[in-house]
Homo-oligomer: A and B are copies of this chain.
Amino acid sequence: MSRNKKQVEIPSTIQTLGPAKIQSPLLDSGNYRGHPQFFQEDDVRIPSDILWSGGQPPKEPGPTFELAGPRSKIYFDSSKLKCAVVTCGGLCPGINSVVRSIVLELHHIYGVRNVVGVKFGFQGFIPRYGHDLMELLPETVADAHGRGGSFLGMSRGAQDIGEIVDALERLNIGLLFTIGGDGTLHAADLITEEIQRRGLKTGVIGIPKTIDNDIAYVDQTFGFSTAVEAAARVILSAHNESTSAPYGLGLVKVMGRHSGFVAVNAVLALKDVNICLIPEVNFDLEGDHGLLAAIRERVVDRGHGVVLVAEGAGQQYCAGDPAEHDASGNVKLGDIGIVLRERITEYFKKNGLELNLKYIDPSYEIRSQPANATDRIYCGFLGQQAVHAGMAGKTGMVVSMLNNHYVHVPIKMAISHRKQVNSLGALWRSVLESTGQPPLAAA
C-alpha cells in the first residue's frame, strides 16, 4: 500500500445509516432539559486550514469537518441496540481509557445495556480463533484507565472482511467502535463498504490510535503526551550517562516509522538532545558535514552528547552496500539504532578518539505506559464523541481533534495520506533551535 500518495479529493461529508428520527434520551436528562445549546447541529464545520492572509479567509480553505457532539435526534433505539468495541494493532497509552469512556457513555448516558468487547482485535470476530466475547459493564471498566495495555487484547494481521461482517450480522451488532491505526482504519473502511453492500444497518466509528501521531486531519493522537513524557525520561537517562563518563555519548532510539513526532517532541520536552534524526529529514553519515563528523565535533568539544534517532530515520544505512556484502559475507539487516551504534564506534576507534557510547532502546516500555491525565481527558472526550456520533447514525468516520475542536472525519480522508513533520515548518525549526545541530546533508 502506497502511503505517501497525493491527497485526493474525498468528500468530507459524513455518511449516515439513515435519518435520525428518535429523540435523544439526553433531552430527558435533568441537565440537558431546556438547554438545546448542549446539542450540536450537523452544519457547523471546522476548516482544516485556518490561516488568513490579507484579511481574507484562505482561497482554498481545504476540507471542512463537521463539529462533533450530541445530536438532539438519534438513529438508534438504545433499548434494542447492541454495540461492539475492538482494539487492534500495537499498544498505545490510553486504549483502556477510550474503551472505558465508550462503555460508560453508552451505558449511563444513552442507556445502552448491551455492549461487548471483541478479544484480540479482529481475530475475536473469527470463530476459528476461539476467543470468547467479553461483556462490557460499567464495573468491568471501572478501574481500566489506571492500567496500561489493552484489557481486551489486540492483534496484528488482516482478517477476512467478509467473515468480520458475517460476525457483525450473526451477533446483531448495531454499532462497531474500532480503536486502531492506519491498518485498522483501512479494514474499517472495507467493513463499512461491505456493510453497505449487504444493506445492513451497522455503524462503524473509528477512534484513531497510533503512537507515531501520523494520522491525517488529527492534531494529535491519544497517548502521545504520555509517550513523549516516557521518551523524555529515557533521554534524561541518556543525558545522565553521557555526562557521567569521559567523552560520553548517549544514543537513544524511539518510535517513528514514517514520522518523527515522538522524537521531535521529546527533544523539545527536555532540551538535552544535541542531534535529532527523523525519517522526514535526510542525513549524510560520512563526509565533513555528515552525522559522524558532527558527533565527533560535539563530543570532542563539549565532552559529551546525546543523539536521538527515530526508528524510521536513515533507512538507507541499514541495508549495507554490496561491497560490504562481499567482504563480510553475512550482512544482517540491522535497525538504525544498532547500525548507528556500530558506525559511530568504528568511526571514533578509527580516528583514535575515546568514546563511551551508551545505547538505549526503550522499545515496548513507552507504548505500554498507563495514560497520563492529559491523555485520559482526551481519551474520555474521544470515547464520548464516538458514542454521540454512532448513536446519531453516522458511519465510516473517525472522531478527531482538529484546530482544537472535536470533529468527524471520513475514514477515507484519515487514511488518504500520512501526517509528517514538515521539514520547513515551525516544529522542526524549533528542534533545530533547541539542538543547535548543523545541516547534516549536502543541500
Other-chain contact of A120, B55, B245, B266 (Cβ < 8 Å):
B245
Give a binary string over A15-43; 1 marks a CB under 8 Å from any B CB, 0 the rest: 00000000000000011111101101001
- Closest-by-CB residue of B relative to A68 is B426
A265, B219: Cα distance in complex, Å = 19
A384 touches B52 (CB 8 A): no
B438 touches A31 (CB 8 A): yes
Instruction: Quote the shortest CB–CB distance from A364 to chain B (angstroms).
Output: 5
- Closest-by-CB residue of B relative to A361 is B361
A244, B100: Cα distance in complex, Å = 16
Other-chain contact of A243, B46, B153, B330 (Cβ < 8 Å):
B153
A188, B439: Cα distance in complex, Å = 39
Instruction: Quote the shortest CB–CB distance from A26 to chain B (angstroms).
Output: 9
Known contacts being A35-B424, A365-B362, A377-B265, is A91 close to B433, with CB within 8 Å? Answer: no
- Cβ of A418 within 8 Å of any chain B Cβ, yes or no, is no
Instruction: Quote the shortest CB–CB distance from A334 to chain B (angstroms).
Output: 13
Known contacts being A50-B50, A228-B373, A372-B229, is A153 close to B245, with CB within 8 Å? Answer: yes
Instruction: Quote the shortest CB–CB distance from A179 to chain B (angstroms).
Output: 12
- Closest-by-CB residue of B relative to A109 is B433
Known contacts being A148-B240, A368-B237, is A228 close to B424, with CB within 8 Å? Answer: no
Known contacts being A38-B429, A364-B358, is A373 close to B232, with CB within 8 Å? Answer: yes
- Cβ of A155 within 8 Å of any chain B Cβ, yes or no, is yes
Give a binary string over A68-90; 1 marks a CB under 8 Å from any B CB, 0 the rest: 01100000000000000000000
A361, B131: Cα distance in complex, Å = 31
Q: Which 6 A-B pairs have the closest CB atoms?
A: A149-B240, A269-B373, A229-B373, A240-B368, A37-B424, A237-B368
- Cβ of A434 within 8 Å of any chain B Cβ, yes or no, is yes
Give a binary string over A118-138; 1 marks a CB under 8 Å from any B CB, 0 the rest: 001001000001010000000
A240 touches B54 (CB 8 A): no
- Cβ of A258 within 8 Å of any chain B Cβ, yes or no, is no
- Cβ of A419 within 8 Å of any chain B Cβ, yes or no, is no
What are 13 sample pairs from A and B whose C-beta atoms fall under 8 A apart?
A33-B439, A37-B425, A43-B53, A52-B64, A91-B240, A105-B433, A120-B245, A148-B240, A237-B364, A237-B365, A329-B330, A404-B404, A406-B426
- Closest-by-CB residue of B relative to A239 is B149
B30 touches A238 (CB 8 A): no
Which residues of chain B are within 8 angstroms of A123 by Cβ–Cβ distance? Answer: 246
- Closest-by-CB residue of B relative to A236 is B148
Q: Which of A139-147, A192-200, A391-399 contacts B (4 or more CB under 8 A)?
A: A139-147
Other-chain contact of A268, B69, B363, B380 (Cβ < 8 Å):
B380
- Closest-by-CB residue of B relative to A425 is B37
- Cβ of A1 within 8 Å of any chain B Cβ, yes or no, is no
Other-chain contact of A405, B50, B91, B406 (Cβ < 8 Å):
B50
- Cβ of A298 within 8 Å of any chain B Cβ, yes or no, is no
B360 touches A364 (CB 8 A): yes
Q: Quick one: which of A51-71 are within 8 Å of B by CB?
A: 51-55, 57, 61, 64, 67, 69-70
A404, B123: Cα distance in complex, Å = 38
A45 touches B51 (CB 8 A): yes
- Cβ of A376 within 8 Å of any chain B Cβ, yes or no, is yes
- Closest-by-CB residue of B relative to A381 is B430
A246, B157: Cα distance in complex, Å = 12
A238 touches B364 (CB 8 A): yes
- Cβ of A225 within 8 Å of any chain B Cβ, yes or no, is yes
B368 touches A245 (CB 8 A): no
Which residues of chain B are within 8 angstroms of A434 by Cβ–Cβ distance? Answer: 104, 380
Which residues of chain B are within 8 angstroms of A7 by Cβ–Cβ distance? Answer: none
- Cβ of A178 within 8 Å of any chain B Cβ, yes or no, is no
- Cβ of A44 within 8 Å of any chain B Cβ, yes or no, is yes
- Closest-by-CB residue of B relative to A250 is B364
Instruction: Quote the shortest CB–CB distance from A158 to chain B (angstroms).
Output: 15
Which residues of chain B are within 8 angstroms of A363 by Cβ–Cβ distance? Answer: 358-360
In the complex, besides A146-B146, A238-B364, 13 extra interface pairs with C-beta distance below 8 angstroms are: A37-B424, A46-B50, A51-B67, A57-B57, A109-B433, A131-B246, A148-B237, A219-B404, A237-B369, A358-B364, A372-B374, A380-B434, A404-B404
